[in-house]
Amino acid sequence: MNSDFIEQLLYEEEGPTLDFKRDQYAFAKATEEEKSELLKDIIGFVNCWRRGEAFILIGVQEVQGGKSTVHGISDHLADHSLQQFVNNLTNRPVQFGYEACECDGKQVGIIRIEMQKRPVFLKRDYGKLKKGEVYVRRGSSTDPSKPADPDEIALMGSGQAVEAKAASLSVEFAAIGLEQSLGTQIEWTAENCEMPDSNDIPLLDDRPHSVRIPGGGSIQMPNMSSLDSMYRLNETYYHDLAYYEFIRRLVKEVRLVVINTGDAPATDVRLEIAAPVGQGFNIADVSELPDVPERRTCLLSSPAMKNLHLRHVGHVAVNKNDQQMKVEIDCGNLQPGRKVWTDSFRLGIGQSGEVELKGHVFAANLTKPQEFSLKIKADIQRTSMTLDELFALDKEDDEE
């Protein structure tokens, strides 16, 4: 669950779909009486008359009429233990989950209770709760002394209750810098330029130049720039320039748009694209791309922090290891018909042909992840560059 969604919940008030708990529930080594408080709250939300998912935020104190206060907690419940505890006691499996999250720099726990079949009740007495009683959250609390009556229970089981709708999401390519969808298949042309052999590219140096003196002869005068102690000569300047130009011609920006095409809101939407290494293309974050090389670098300058971004809706994170490349995009919450235009990432394709990017869309109210496929028909032109052409690039930069 992303931080943006939690932040939104902090501004809501307790009710049929939300509860705040200042402290963690008593669970490990707790008595049945103590643990029945947690059991009551989960069952109460399951049976509650609501039209969406319900959430219990642990480590948060409600502030009516304002943003609730995050106090944080020092320990978390184990989801698998919690699942086993609840489902061993109830008449049917309860669909819920526990997540550990960070908010305002502090740890909070979140119990998410899905819309599901009702009624749910206990198969035996447990703590302060009674077998067969249908506990229902009404407003901002669940009162064990006021369980559902027979008519209400019958209505729960009749199917007349509003069922949760599943979100429907689509993913398409988007134009760079424009809010324009390009569909699920695009074409592009790039250049795979073979650079001069590294051994043939000279190192840059401050070679002294000759000055003639009266009477014949000459003396060697060093370049004035070499006397500047604040700037260090970049000896590999031409190597860096060759690599920069190779990447500039081959690698292109990719941007996506995620659309809620269904009738139900999609909550906590996340998109993932994963591909094994060695498929003929490479996914890159902007931080991996080279900067325009400089002949001299300032000793006081620090490397550009190109990958330092605050997380936001549409934020792209690229993670790679020796086996896999993965793109992860947070899309927040999407109302029906709404779109999220993502940040861009970079893609380099080595040769002509069709490249398929396969991924999944996750959302809190999707019963299972949605698969999607995006295709690129690439025309990669193979060229080569001589040393003279490489040196000419340097002259072009000087003219600019």
The whole-number pLDDT of residue 161 equals: 45
Per-residue model confidence (pLDDT) at position 65: 81
Distances (CA, A) of 135 to 202, 251, 262, 293, 398: 80, 59, 33, 68, 77
Domains of the chain plus CATH, in order, are 3-157 (3.30.950), 169-196+236-399 (2.60.40.10), 205-233 (no CATH)
The pLDDT score that the predictor gives to residue 122 is 97
Tokens of 119: 């009624």
Per-residue pLDDT at 7:
85
* Residue-wise burial string across 260-279, b where 16 or more C-beta atoms lie within 10 A, e elsewhere: bebebbbbbbbbebebeeee
**What are the distances in angstroms from CA 108 to CA 20, 76, 366?**
11, 8, 24
Distance CA 170, CA 168 (A): 7
Q: Which pLDDT does position 283 carry in this prediction?
A: 93
Q: pLDDT tens, position by position, for the chain (400 residues)?
A: 667 788 889 989 999 999 999 999 999 999 999 999 999 999 999 999 987 889 999 999 999 888 999 999 999 999 999 999 999 999 999 999 999 999 988 999 999 999 889 999 999 999 999 999 999 999 899 999 999 999 899 888 875 444 555 678 999 999 998 989 999 999 999 999 999 999 999 998 755 555 566 666 655 555 545 555 577 888 999 999 999 999 999 999 999 999 998 877 888 899 999 999 888 899 988 788 899 998 888 766 655 555 545 568 899 999 988 889 999 999 988 888 889 999 999 999 999 999 999 999 988 777 778 999 999 999 999 999 999 999 999 865 555 5
- Global pTM exceeds 0.85: no
